[in-house]
Structure 1
Amino acid sequence: MIKRVVLRVCILIFSAACVEQKSEDLRIAVSANMQFTIDDLVAAFKERTGIRCQVIIGSSGKLTAQIKEGAPYDIFVSADTSYPDQLFKEGYTMSAPKIYGYGKLVVWSRLDSTIPLIPLLTSQQVHHIAIANPKLAPYGKASVEVLKKMKVYDDIREKLVFGESILQTNQFVISGAAEVGFTSKSVVLSNKVKDIGSWVAVDQRDYKPIAQALVVIKHEGDQYKKAERFQEFFFTNTAKTILEKSGYTINSEE
């Protein structure tokens, strides 16, 4: 009950702040794996349309909860399909979610990059392994899936530290609070962190495909029309090029 009250207070504060934004600004709720990629996408969208965007980063689960509580977001760019599909089925969106790409999981470390993955995770050099909260973040769920598939989950369970999202997981690795972290390939390819440590891609056969989708939240008038334009932009060649450069696999059917 207390958590719900705190969440509603936060949403009211955020809503008040949004009043100060110009009406043409789109409020885009974005899953944390896209924290760097979204900047390039928003810049390209603004160049094409002149529409400015306000980006709110968080875990897909937390952003979904905020939307249900009335957070004034126009677009939700999720790290999976289940959260936007849930919003669609419960009547919070204008249409069904659309898959824009598939994310890839990597292990990021500041230790010797030549150590094979399993020996690295079980090494005495590693005291903390950062992953996103699997209850809120699809990449965290995939990380647990990988650890169990490799049969090391029980051995390294005590080393796990959970970030609220991939964003916090990244901060654990960057700060050195965790020697190793599971994150999105889009993060380690970004200019902001590509020179920090080293990374290895996780075998995609060890986790279910991370299909990522976006959806337009129910609104009326011009704001909805502009949100639709942003959704359409996500499937242009310009956006696809940005996504592929950031390490996402694009759905060839789109």
Structure 2
Amino acid sequence: MKPIHYLLLVVMALTGCQAGNNEKVTIATAANMQFAMEALIKAFEAESGIACQMVVSSSGKLTAQIKGGAPYDIFVAANVKYPKAIHDAGLASAPPKIYAHGALVLWTLDDELSPSLEMLSDPNISHIAIANPKTAPYGLAAMEVLKKNKLAEVLNDKLVFGESISQTNQYILSKSAEMGFTSLSVVKSPRMIGKGKWFFLNEGDYSPIKQAAVIIKRNESENSGAIHFYEYLFTEEAQKILKEYGYQMPR
């Protein structure tokens, strides 16, 4: 073999390996999972060498984006309904699988306030942050809590809706809302722990928040990195990380 031909083969081989190593997994992530997903991605990348990036929004908005052709590889949602819609539309490789159960809390950064359902009616509270129940499962759960406790109509004028839990958190963190509903995983995250005060809401007051994930079909080829991350999500190591963020494992 001529030296030039050998050199070309080496270059082609190296290029092929580099492309494989640079395969990136794009994870459409429900807003409640933002901080937990950061920890999961860090651990997964260290173990596998596969790069990941996440796109964070409400589960409903992410569903619309996926149906519109957004180039995501995995959808990690805040309920089963939205991943099921993706599967029913023929856009997922398999039916959704539950990876965790979430929990809802009431959170405030106002030192003068103690979060509770009774406190929401206090005249000192003018704004209560809540995620849009039409697109965010945690917002829907929050509305169920208010209705269960006969507070929905009473507090209607105080409610400030965020597009997702992320925006709801910003309302609470900036004190634009004196109090608000968010996920337990947010207040237990290293970035938020110790900030403000939170109240654990009765899980019997809202439907179980069963969070599911699916691998999204993209073109004809399978993203092996996506399959690897999806499988990792259900490993003992990943479940341990999720528990640290307040999620309960599927029963």
Instruction: Name the TM-score, length of structure 1 as normaliser.
Output: 0.87
Shift of 1:117: 1.6
Shift of 1:220: 5.2
Quick one: distance in 2 between partners of 1:152 and 1:72?
A: 41
Instruction: Name the TM-score, length of structure 2 as normaliser.
Output: 0.88
Shift of 1:239: 0.2
How many residue pairs end up in the alignment? Answer: 231
Aligned-residue CA RMSD (Å): 1.5
Quick one: distance in 2 between partners of 1:77 and 1:168?
A: 18
The answer to whether residue 196 in structure 2 is matched with residue 158 in structure 1 is no
Shift of 1:192: 1.1
Quick one: distance in 2 between partners of 1:116 and 1:55?
A: 32
Q: Which runs of 5+ in 2 are unaligned?
A: 1-20
Quick one: distance in 2 between partners of 1:142 and 1:113?
A: 26
Shift >6 Å, 4+ stretches? none
Q: Which runs of 5+ in 1 are unaligned?
A: 1-21
The aligned residue for residue 111 of structure 1 is: 110
C-alpha contact 1:24 1:223 (8 A) present in aligned 2: no
- Once the two structures are superposed, what CA deviation does each residue of 1:71-95 show, in whole Å capped at 9, x if it has no partner? 0000000000000001101101111
SS at match of 1:141: helix
C-alpha contact 2:110 2:175 (8 A) present in aligned 1: no
The aligned residue for residue 175 of structure 2 is: 176
Quick one: distance in 1 between partners of 2:191 and 2:242?
A: 16
Shift of 1:119: 2.4
Shift of 1:47: 1.2
The answer to whether residue 190 in structure 2 is matched with residue 191 in structure 1 is yes
The answer to whether residue 61 in structure 2 is matched with residue 62 in structure 1 is yes
The residue type paired with residue 59 of structure 2 is S
Bigger Cα displacement from structure 2, 218-227 vs 90-99: 218-227
CA shift in 2, pair 1:92/1:113, >3 Å:
farther
Quick one: distance in 1 between partners of 2:192 and 2:114?
A: 21
C-alpha contact 1:113 1:199 (8 A) present in aligned 2: no
C-alpha contact 1:32 1:166 (8 A) present in aligned 2: yes
Shift of 1:115: 4.1
The residue type paired with residue 126 of structure 1 is I
The residue type paired with residue 48 of structure 1 is E
